[in-house]
């Protein structure tokens, strides 16, 4: 691994998600490392990941991160997506020669918080079926009840919200009712937001769940891990931070004011060439 003093101070931190969800991780990274240059890459051509197969997600994530890192030479990659991380984190680490930080469901802190012993886990359909989640459950929540629920409509709702559209209340209601109607669901008092899109809907989810349910996600912990790995490195922002998309289209223009508010005034489309 490169020594800290050899790292180009303009080399960015690369965040990667299928869409806008990773902005919830970027927000926390900005708190700890305000001077770090950032490229936020969204594979909107592949959105949503949550309804794809493991093979499809792994191929996209490994292929894209290989090409993007070759082109942009980041100092670190943060996969700000639970679906991509629970499926492909190990593979990406095998391929890249820089530190790779993943985003995995925050089952451990939720297990420490719950009093009833019933924890909800709201993720994409792909995330909730991963062995990675089985392992986290076995390690940290063996004596708890973990209720897993896949909520693809919440990904759409979060994408819409950041484009100025009121999130569909039915999508939130469906997810909450789905969790509550599982055996033990009435006693749920902690909910893991196991998709980086979902903290964008924290207010809506909290209102539907009631105040007794604590929402838990991993963004702050991920930011601390990124800051630890970059400790002692120099930062210089040679150009305004960039949001990079894999497909052009009207969905990008409507996102521009939001991206600006996250400190991403530059927008570009990643071409395969
Ligand atoms: N933000 C992604 C995650 O954390 C998923 C959204 C999608 O389905 O693409 O899982």
Residue whose pair of structure tokens reads 């802190």 in the numeric block: 109
Residue 9 to residue 5: CA distance in whole angstroms? 9
Q: What are the start-end ranges of the H helices in the chain?
A: 23-32, 54-72, 82-95, 107-113, 125-128, 131-140, 152-161, 169-180, 202-209, 219-229, 250-253, 256-261
Q: How many structural domains comprise the chain? A: 2
Assess if residue 237 is contained within a domain: yes
> Is 1 part of a structural domain of the chain?
no
Residues with CB under 6 A from ligand 1: 17-19, 21, 47-50, 81-83, 124, 127, 155, 195-197
pLDDT, tens only, 215-272: 999 999 999 999 999 999 999 999 999 999 999 988 999 999 999 999 999 999 998 7
> Do the domain assignments include residue 2?
no
Which ligand 1 atom minimizes the distance to the CA of 127?
A: 10
Task: Using alpha carbons, list the distances in angstroms from residue 164 to 47, 174, 268.
Answer: 19, 22, 21
- Ligand 1 center–CA 45 separation, angstroms: 13
pLDDT, position 273: 63
Domain that holds residue 115: 107-217
Which pTM was predicted? 0.96
CA of 206 to the centre of ligand 1 (A): 20
Q: Please state which of the ranges 122-126, 142-146, 159-163, 250-254 shows the lowest mean pLDDT.
A: 250-254
Scanning the structure block, which residue is given the tokens 């002692």?
Answer: 232
Q: Which of 49, 121, 128 has most ligand 1 atoms within 8 Å of CB, for mutation?
A: 49
Task: Say if residue 232 is in the same domain as residue 254.
Answer: yes
Is 243 found in the same domain as 155? no
State the CATH number of the domain containing residue 117. Answer: 3.40.50.1860
Q: What are phi and psi of 119, to 5 degrees?
A: -115, 135
Residues 236 and 170 in one domain: no
């Amino acid at each position: 691994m490169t020594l800290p003093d050899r790292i180009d101070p303009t080399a960015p931190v690369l965040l990667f998600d299928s869409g806008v969800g990773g902005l919830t991780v970027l927000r926390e990274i900005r708190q700890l490392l305000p001077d770090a240059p950032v490229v936020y890459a969204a594979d909107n051509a592949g959105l949503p990941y949550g309804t794809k197969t493991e093979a499809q997600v792994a191929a996209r994530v490994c292929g894209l991160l290989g090409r993007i890192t070759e082109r942009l030479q980041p100092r670190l990659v943060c996969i700000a997506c639970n679906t991509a991380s629970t499926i492909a984190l190990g593979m990406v680490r095998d391929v890249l020669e820089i530190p790779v930080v993943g985003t995995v469901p925050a089952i451990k802190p939720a297990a420490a918080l719950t009093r009833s012993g019933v924890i909800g886990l709201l993720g994409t359909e792909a995330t909730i079926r991963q062995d990675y989640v089985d392992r986290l459950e076995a390690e940290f929540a063996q004596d708890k009840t973990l209720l897993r629920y896949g909520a693809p409509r919440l990904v759409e709702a979060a994408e819409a919200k950041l484009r100025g559209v009121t999130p569909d209340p039915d999508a939130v209601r469906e997810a909450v009712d789905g969790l509550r109607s599982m055996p033990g669901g009435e006693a749920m008092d902690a909910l893991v937001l196991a998709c980086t899109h979902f903290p964008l809907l924290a207010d809506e989810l909290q209102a539907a769940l009631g105040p007794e349910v604590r929402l838990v996600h991993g963004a702050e912990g991920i930011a601390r891990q990124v800051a630890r790995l970059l400790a002692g490195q120099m930062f210089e922002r040679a150009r305004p931070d960039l949001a990079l998309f894999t497909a052009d289209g009207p969905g990008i223009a409507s996102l521009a004011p939001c991206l600006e508010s996250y400190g991403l005034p530059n927008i570009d489309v990643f071409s395969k060439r």
